[in-house]
Amino acid sequence: MTDAIDGYERPDGTVGIRNHVLVVPSVICSHLVAERIADELPYARATPHDHGCAQLGADNEQTARTLVGIGTNPNVSGVVVVGLGCEEVQSNDVAHDLADRGVPVRELSIQEVGGTDACVERGIELARELWTQADTRERSISLGDLTVGVVSSDLRESTRETAGPLVGEAIDELVGMGARVVVAGTERVLAHPEAARARTASGANARLDGLLSRHRNQPPRATRVGMRAASLDFEEITREWGAEDIGEVVEYGSASSLDSGLAILDAPSRFEEAATGLVAAGSELILHLTADGIPAGHPTVPVLKISGEESTVGALADDIDVDATTATSEDLLSSIRTVADGHPCAVDEHGLTEFAITRIGPSM
């Protein structure tokens, strides 16, 4: 099987497999306006969220960092940032940081433009302007040029024993092609810090220690995945990571800097929050292992749903891309290649997207 696909080269040397104009609200107060702008244009996508106002220190910084991160994803050809005008995460600051990274960007705020309707109208004009200037020419690229995100939102037996090994085998092949793989699910590392450290390359140990320290100093969160992870072996709960050592630990909202190999992202296993972090890390495509068949995608990247739960595959056949009970790693790689080459995945067909940014502490 050839790994050649069609993609889009960006000025910074990265390659995308989609070509979206992203409409990013800097604050919850402008997310409906952002959605109305994107709804009018087939090439535009919005990222509505409930952040950007009344957040404290680290959360405020993380929200801003994440909004910049998603705007620099290679699947994005340009960004319209929409603010209200009085928020903590100011739209002009987000736009300034995107421009510094070479992203074509436009910015406006509801208060400055003169109200909701005027902002929608002007936002549509700016998005069209970005699209007319975007490079829409497709070029031949390789699967090895991509960053692939991986998140397993549960630790059910079917995920650990069936879907996990299948994905891990495909991940090893992608890394062998030169791809970068970023995995989410910090609960696994927190439950087994010594096992994680033993699998981490020496150059990434300091960042791993930093991750562990940050979580020790945060309010504890009891999650189903976290409690299950503590009762299982580290190897058993990370089979979808493949066999590669951890080469990098990535802060939530930041981009991975690995040339190729395996990176872990400081993100929870909850799909919506993990997916946004993976997109900000640079993933052009996400593999989601789900025993429950969670029918949610992401506005910016295609998400392949992979399930090893027979009852889920039977009940949600139209929502699952890969049946791990019957698929081989070659089947999975073929599905990855097909979707990377422009074919819609199941959540794309249904128009199902979710966007969420994880929180560190409380908001006021």
Q: Are 123 and 93 part of one and the same domain? A: yes
Alpha helices in the chain (DSSP H): 31-39, 57-71, 91-100, 110-113, 116-133, 157-158, 164-177, 186-191, 193-198, 205-216, 224-230, 234-237, 271-280, 310-315, 329-340, 346-350
**Same domain, yes or no, for 170 and 317?**
yes
Q: Does residue 167 share a domain with residue 279?
A: yes
Domain end: 102, 133, 164, which one?
Answer: 133
In this structure, the answer to whether residues 213 and 91 fall within a common structural domain is no
Shared domain for 229 and 98, answered yes or no, is: no
Residue 8 lies in a domain: no
Q: Is residue 355 part of a domain?
A: no
Q: Which residues span the domain enclosing 66?
A: 20-133
Residues 248 and 308 in one domain: yes
Out of 106, 133, 160, a domain closes at 133
Domain count, the chain: 2
Residue 147 shares a structural domain with residue 129: no
- Are 159 and 304 found together in one domain? yes
Residues 216 and 72 in one domain: no
Are 162 and 273 members of one domain? yes
Q: Are residues 215 and 322 both part of a single domain?
A: yes
- Write the DSSP string, 224-278: HHHHHHHTS-HHHH-GGG-SPPEEEEE-TTSPP--SSEEEEES--S-HHHHHHHH
Strands 76-83, 20-25: pairing kind: parallel
Q: What does the pLDDT profile of the chain (364 residues) look like in tens digits? A: 467 899 999 988 899 999 999 999 999 889 999 999 999 999 999 999 888 776 678 888 999 999 999 999 999 999 999 999 877 888 999 999 999 999 999 999 999 999 999 999 999 999 999 999 999 999 999 999 999 999 999 999 999 999 999 999 999 999 999 999 999 999 999 999 999 999 999 999 999 999 999 998 776 677 899 999 999 999 999 999 999 999 999 999 999 999 999 999 999 999 999 999 999 999 999 999 999 999 999 999 999 999 999 999 999 999 999 999 999 999 999 999 999 999 999 999 999 999 999 988 655 4
